[in-house]
Amino acid sequence: DNPGNAPKAEVIFILGGPGSGKGTQCEKMVKDYCFLHISTGDLLRAERQKGGPDAEELENIMREGKLVPSDTLVKLIKKEIESLGNTGRYILDGFPRSQDNWQSWTKIIGNSVNARFLLMFECSEAVMEQRLLKRGQTSGRADDNAETIKKRFATFMNETQPVVADFEKRNMVIKVSAEAAPDEVYENVKKALTNKGV
Ligand code: B4P
C-alpha cells in the first residue's frame, strides 16, 4: 500500500459556505505550498461527466443543493489518494460537509491518512450569494442559480455547521475571514497556516 515506507498522507480539510471562496484560495495555496488539491465538488462533477450508472443521480442531488451519499464520495477520495501513492500533503476542499461524511471517513479511510486540522472560511450569506450569482452568469453549473443557492445555504446550516462544531470541540478548527478580495483573504490564510506550523 505504501511503497518504500514513504510518510503517511496528511490532509488539511477546507470548508466554508457555498461561495466563501474555498476553491479560489486552494488554487493560491497550491502555488505556494507543497499541497496536492482535491476538490470534492470537482471530483463529483468529473464522476458525473464520465456518465456511469450514478451520473444522473449525482446531477440531481447537486441541482437540489443536497449532499451526495458519503460512502460514494469517500471512496472516490480514497482512490484519488491511492493513485498518488498514499503519501503527500493534501488540501481537501469541501470536506467534511456533514457528520455522516465524517463517519464514512472514519470507516473507509480512518488512520491510514493523518487528518491535521480544518481551515474554515467565514463569510456572510449576502456576500456568498452575490459571488455565486455572478459565477452563475458564466459557469454553466446547474447549482449556481438563486433557487439552488438558497438550498445550499440551508444544507450548510443544517448539516455542515454541526460537524464543524464537533471539530471545534476537539480544537481542530482554524477560522479565516473570507469577506475581502481574494489576495487579502489569502494573507489571512498564510497567517493561519504559519500559526499551525505549516
Ligand atoms: P462545491 O463545488 O464544493 O461548491 P461550492 O461550495 O460552490 O465551492 P466552490 O469551491 O465551487 O466555490 P467558491 O466558494 O470557491 O460543491 C458542489 C456540490 O457538490 C455540493 O452542493 C454537493 O452537492 C456536492 N458535494 C461537495 N462536497 C460534498 C461532500 N463533502 N459531501 C457530499 N456532497 C458534496 O467560489 C465561489 C465564487 O466566488 C467563484 O466564482 C469565485 O471566483 C468567487 N470568489 C471566491 N473568492 C472571492 C473573493 N474573495 N471575492 C470575490 N469573489 C470571490
CATH of domain 3-189: 3.40.50.300
Mutation test residue for ligand 1: of 37, 68, 125, the one with most atoms within 8 Å of CB = 68
Parse the chain into domains and list their residue ranges: 3-189
pLDDT of residue 4: 61
- The 10s digit of each residue's pLDDT in 13-50 is 999 999 999 999 999 999 999 999 999 999 999 999 99
- The 10s digit of each residue's pLDDT in 153-175 is 999 999 999 999 999 999 999 99
26 contact partners, CB below 8 Å, separation of at least 6: 14, 35, 37, 39, 91, 93
Report ipTM (2 d.p.).
0.87
The CA 110 to ligand 1 mean position distance, Å, reads: 25
The CA 116 to ligand 1 mean position distance, Å, reads: 22
Q: Which band of pLDDT confidence, cut at 50, 70 and 90, is reported for residue 123?
A: very high
Cα–Cα dist 29/80, whole Å: 19
Average pLDDT over residues 116-131: 98
pLDDT of residue 127: 98
pLDDT of residue 5: 73
